[in-house]
Structure 1
Amino acid sequence: MTTAPEEVPRLRPVEAFPLEHEGRRVIALRDPAGYAAGVLLLPPTALEVLAMLDGQHSLLDIQAELCRRWGEIVPRSDLEEVLGLLDEHGFLDSPRFAALRAETDARFLASPARPAAHAGSAYPADPDALRRTFDAFFEPPAGPGPAAPGSPGGSGAGPVRALVAPHIDFHRGGPVYAWGYRALAEGTDADLFVVFGTCHAGMPEPFALTRKDFETPLGPVPVDREFVDALAARAAHDGFACEAAHRAEHSIEFQAVFLQYLFGGRRPFAIVP
């Protein structure tokens, strides 16, 4: 009679950072891909367990290593409880997570537009509140003063061909966005913006395209589908293989929101995300 091999659990690529919660120091886990909702709080000692959830160590291996480090045996039931918690919240690379990812991706790919994933959390979902928030970013002394969209060269800096913009949270980097986007608003009359963003969750392909318009509280930002399809036809890889990476990624969403704030209702424009 053969014995089934020991399970070797693997933690998904997640962010771990220290946090003060109710007067206690804890470790917070967050999923940059957005499949696991919210933040999971664990005691600092859990870090040593998390570090061994690499798909190489069985629970028996982890027990033995913790016993060596701590000088006492950690009951298997305690480890199973931690694993159950991680799996329940979508942090383990497991069949349960695979089903969650498949369902979530399918729902996104079937949607006609790319929802504003971070509206109401990273920035206001209410249009008027969003405009007031962005207006404040332009106010001196931190901001550059109001932008004047539609007047290329008005800033005196010459035509703008490209913009390196931040993708940090608006509440921390708002005035920096304002300086960059004022230069863009006053330095170009372009009606098409090719937006490159980073994928914080990582993906196997170098680029991911989408044909989906980007929803924002200020109205949808249209995607130039003809341009996207022409780009995909010339790419050396499947440009849509990782399209689901756009679902929760904020780096392009933030640019789409700012472009809509500047140009929406003033002049037609489209993006290539």
Structure 2
Amino acid sequence: MEHPRARHDLEFIPFDHEGRQMILVRDRLGLVPYGTGVPPGLLPILALMDGLRSLDDLAREITALQGGRSVSREGILAVLAELDQAGLLDTERYRAAKTQAAADFAAKPIREAVFAGQAYPDTRALLAPYLDAILALAPQDAPALPAGARLLGIIAPHIDPEAGKAAYGAAYAPLRGLAPKRVVVLGVGHQIIRGLYCLTDKSYATPLGDVPADAAAVARLRAAGGAAVDPGDLQHRDEHSVEFQAVFLRHVLGETPFSLVPVLCGSPLGALSGNASRAAFLDLAGPFLETLRELAATPDTLVVAGVDFCHIGPKFGHDKPAQLLEDAATAHDAALLDALAAGDAEAFWAESARVKDRYNVCGLTALATLAEILPPSDMTVLCRDIMREKETASAVTFAAAAVTAR
């Protein structure tokens, strides 16, 4: 373990335990036991373990972090052994567990409704009225869509439905009465490490009935995607961003038989080797985007981007409370939406570059993909909202919008 690497697929959630600040570790793979907490001081040390720094490098940098209190190479090895045992490192033990999890998921014929009973009711009898109540919360003063215009797609949140009720209602209300045969869902792959996209041809289960995948379309995209597409589909197993859209779609479209093209979109920062620009994006994902554009242009196909926008405050790495960042973050949201509404993909990437992704827009790749695959169109922003988390002085922004044919 000369160049140790921390796992990149863990979530760290600040919480207060008996007056002491701790970090809850959430591990969808299950190697880290549920409820495990670590001290906040461990996070900057894990951040140094990037697979590039040697043990000697780590000893020097951790010594600096500790204000000059020396740490030896042997001390680092002892800490690494504890971190590996705790499941926090990318080691053989972790990779074997991930390989087994991927094999187990591959053997399943369906992607289960993981968040049923947690983020939304898990029975038809309770879920249908719950979703109807959310749809009824669509803002009454939302702008009207152009009269007679054909709906090409929507932007919806993927935040917890309870937190994003008004925006979910605004996004999905326009779908009532539609009967698409296929829905392309651009979700956010929070755990994608290889490539920009992750696909699955598994049906998505919901308490209202399963939504079958368009296996032929998924196969076309996988063949076209090359290095832009993760070769597996394990990231779909525990990801909520497509699941929430599948639940709303199944409800709003009723008995309409439709298929799903579930596309998880990862962060451009790693996949584009630090060059998060439109040119680099098109260079890597061009053939994938062209195939997706062809699918989106097919009659009776709808595109849904299930995204959140800015993630601000200490929970997301900022040294200021979200309240002090809100104005700048919401202005960034508005600029991104304006660029999308204008059909100006270059302006969209330029706005992201302007702030150097300071505000952690997790839906950046999904929105950039949307900008590339839709024909000339009009966008109507229906709702913008923010979820404030008082306990962590942090916040998440999100929006609802409809895209109509010009």
Q: Given the two structures, how large is their TM-score scaled by the length of structure 2?
A: 0.55
Note if 1:106 corresponds to 2:141: no
2:11 counterpart residue number: 15
Which amino acid in 2 is paired with 1:180? A
1:149 counterpart residue number: none
Which amino acid in 2 is paired with 1:227? A
SS in 2 for 1:133: helix
1:270 counterpart residue number: 259
Q: Name the count of aligned residue pairs.
A: 254
Deviations 1:24-70 (A, max 9, x none): 11123334xx2246453211222342233223445565455444534
Q: 1:191 aligns with which of 181, 196, 205?
A: 181
1:217 counterpart residue number: 207
1:47 counterpart residue number: 43
Which amino acid in 2 is paired with 1:122? A
Distance 1:110 1:175, change over 3 A: same
Distance, in Å, in 2 between the alignment partners of 1:203 and 1:63 is 27
CA contact (8 A) 2:102 2:233 kept: no
Distance, in Å, in 2 between the alignment partners of 1:121 and 1:81 is 38
SS in 1 for 2:37: strand
In terms of fraction of residues, the more helix-rich structure is 2
1:27 counterpart residue number: 23
CA contact (8 A) 1:155 1:183 kept: no
Within 5 A, what are the aligned runs for 1:151-162? Answer: 158-162=149-153
Identity of matched residues, %: 37
Distance 1:158 1:228, change over 3 A: same
Distance 1:83 1:118, change over 3 A: farther
Q: 2:127 aligns with which of 125, 130, 135?
A: 130
Note if 1:259 corresponds to 2:255: no
Q: Which blocks of at least 5 consecutive residues in structure 1 are unaligned? A: 1-5, 146-152
Distance, in Å, in 1 between the alignment partners of 2:36 and 2:73 is 21
CA contact (8 A) 1:138 1:144 kept: no
Root-mean-square deviation (Å)? 3.1
Distance, in Å, in 2 between the alignment partners of 1:237 and 1:39 is 38
Distance, in Å, in 1 between the alignment partners of 2:37 and 2:154 is 38
Distance, in Å, in 2 between the alignment partners of 1:77 and 1:20 is 32
Distance, in Å, in 1 between the alignment partners of 2:146 and 2:250 is 20
SS in 2 for 1:194: strand
1:205 counterpart residue number: 195
Distance, in Å, in 1 between the alignment partners of 2:77 and 2:35 is 20
Deviations 1:212-232 (A, max 9, x none): 111112221111223333444
Deviations 1:116-175 (A, max 9, x none): 122232222233232232222123xx4358xxxxxxx99966321111121111111122
2:88 counterpart residue number: 91
Which amino acid in 1 is paired with 2:257? P
Which amino acid in 1 is paired with 2:84? D
Which amino acid in 2 is paired with 1:103? Q
Q: 2:231 aligns with which of 228, 241, 261?
A: 241
Q: Please say which structure displays the higher CA radius of gyration.
A: 1
In terms of fraction of residues, the more strand-rich structure is 2
| 197-206 or 111-120: bigger deviation | 197-206
Distance, in Å, in 2 between the alignment partners of 1:216 and 1:263 is 13
